[in-house]
Amino acid sequence: MQIEQKLTAAVVAAVKALYGQDVPETIVQLGATKKEFEGHLTLIVFPFLKMSRKRPEDTAEEIGQYLVTNLPDVVARFNVIKGFLNMVIADACWVSLLSEIQQDAHYGLTPVTDESPLVMIEYSSPNTNKPLHLGHVRNNLLGWALAQVMEANGNRVVKTNIVNDRGIHICKSMLAWLKWGNGETPESTGKKGDHLIGDYYVAFDKHYRAELKQLTEKFVAEGMDEEAAKERAEKESPLMNEARAMLVKWEQNDPEVRGLWKRMNDWVYAGFDETYKALGVSFDKIYYESQTYLEGKEKVMEGLEKGFFYRREDGSIWANLNAEGLDEKLLLRADGTSVYMTQDIGTAKLRFQDFPIDKMIYVVGNEQNYHFQVLSILLDKLGFKWGKDLVHFSYGMVELPNGKMKSREGTVVDADDLIAKMISDAREMSKDKVNKLDDITEAEAQEIARIVGMGALKYFILKVDARKNMLFNPEESIDFNGNTGPFIQYTYARIRSILRKANGQWAMDNGQCALSEKEIALIQQLAAFGTAVRQAGTDYNVSVIANYCYDLAKEFNGFYHDFQILKEEDPQKRAVRLALCEAVAKVIKTGMGLLGIEVPERM
């Protein structure tokens, strides 16, 4: 049992014994003692003054005396500062807690059962006309980490993806490939499929802009003003009209267009899978917009029949959300084609059919805040029990401090390029450290570089509160000092080295052992892991776990600097310190694992 739980029960008993009052455990307020006072945990006594009818100092003194008398194995001594009872916890109690942490294989985690709530988390949501970029990297890492954190809080979790695989943007890539591709394939070019298709999306845009320029100049020469000429050029662009005609054929299930669409999408999916594997993320269920938009149309028509929505004169269908303080929202265009909202409604319908969802979390950037506010209302109107309480895990944008790592298009930071560069930088940065290892093979050195490089990337992104915009600095992220992934990984590897040298030849008993304040501080930090996991789940904030791991690693390094471990001559002290090492390593591995970050056994 955690020390706080024991103290809470004892304080409730003290109030009953001293003042004859039954109080709930929720009234007991415990916190870490301020550094300027002696003690480890502090009780705020103000809630008990009405019962004691005494001054705060006297009340604290009486409760303190009761605890020392009745709970001597927990409270060694105490001091009172006004209405605050500062308690020094007995060394044996800390050693006992350390033993519990060490022996609990799932320490800090809440077990999942068949009765646990089912949480579905949507993340990634790529388009099949381009490769994944830096924005997708933040999205995928946040989605994966959130899924692990929700499971660590006792939820069943389904990780899901919605792929935007239809629409005019897809047709642009298809048309460009037909026109200028000369039958190129990923195999014939040696390119990943998503990169190949992305190149043709860029090629379409390049030709389209050139065509618009030419047409605009022609219409201006014929006497039109520039604004009108631009508008006419956009309407009459042969290239764009071809793309629109291709989309119509796709909607009509034209076998030739559908065949090309499937072939090119398969190339993209193979490319995505490589990137997902490198990022260490996966999904339990993937939905496709091409399969969900028709379902969405059906639900919109159902809502129209029930009077939730209305049809305008041009045939378009809208939702009037004025009563909710919002505006009107288009659901189906006049020509019957769907919008993103329609697709999200359709996807929700399929998901609700597939899974008994208790909570739905969408990991989507903050530019879509309004969209999800509207979606929540519409799903609630349409009868989805989780619609009203859906969670939009809204995150900020991520940018680079310079353009060095931008892709060939010069517009986005390609995810594959970023991953390759992080691993390459990690190999370069860790050369001195890795070279010191005995008998390391080239394959092992490369694997350590992968673990460190990906750890640096993931940690740097996940340590920032997701709601904030962030600047990703690759050089800063790979540093082995400071609040970085490699610093924590190196701490773990250092501990594993100590434990290997100890060779299991130690055993801690729960007898008397005098502890230093640094050792107690480290146990106290370990004891806070469960609280950090719960807070991360309650607040949907995975950065809580990241920063907890950093604080723990920092606390351990302070202890390691000041105390002998393997060379400690007192066998009981040595055993306690090795137990501390083992517990810290376990918690770091668990915490970093929740973030999707691996830790190397040696570095």
**pLDDT exceeds 70 at position 391:** yes
Dihedral sign for Cα atoms in the order 339, 344, 349, 351: positive
Lowest mean pLDDT among 1-5, 145-149, 238-242, 522-526: 1-5
- Is position 359 within any domain? no
What digits encode the pLDDT tens for the residues 312-354?
Answer: 999 999 999 999 999 999 999 888 888 889 999 999 999 999 9
What digits encode the pLDDT tens for the residues 246-280?
Answer: 998 998 999 999 999 999 999 999 999 999 999 99
- Is position 78 within any domain? yes
Q: How confident is the model at residue 603 (pLDDT cuts 50, 70, 90)?
A: confident
Dihedral sign for Cα atoms in the order 556, 557, 563, 565: positive
Element (H, E) at 329: strand 328-332
- Is position 22 within any domain? yes
CA-based nearest residue to 37, from 79, 74, 72:
79
What is the domain range of residue 36?
A: 3-89
199 neighbors 129 (Cβ within 8 angstroms): no
Separation of alpha carbons 131 and 115, rounded Å? 39
Which of 293-307, 387-401, 506-520 ranks highest by mean pLDDT?
293-307
Which CATH number do you get for residue 79? 3.30.1360.70
Q: Cα 436 to chain center, whole Å?
A: 34
The pTM assigned to this predicted structure is 0.91
- Is position 144 within any domain? no
329 neighbors 341 (Cβ within 8 angstroms): yes
Q: What percent of the chain has pLDDT over 70?
A: 96
Separation of alpha carbons 38 and 34, rounded Å? 8
- Is position 537 within any domain? no
- Is position 169 within any domain? no
- Is position 54 within any domain? yes
**pLDDT exceeds 50 at position 74:** yes
- Is position 395 within any domain? no
What 3-state DSSP class applies to 190? coil
When divided into structural domains, the chain yields a total of: 1
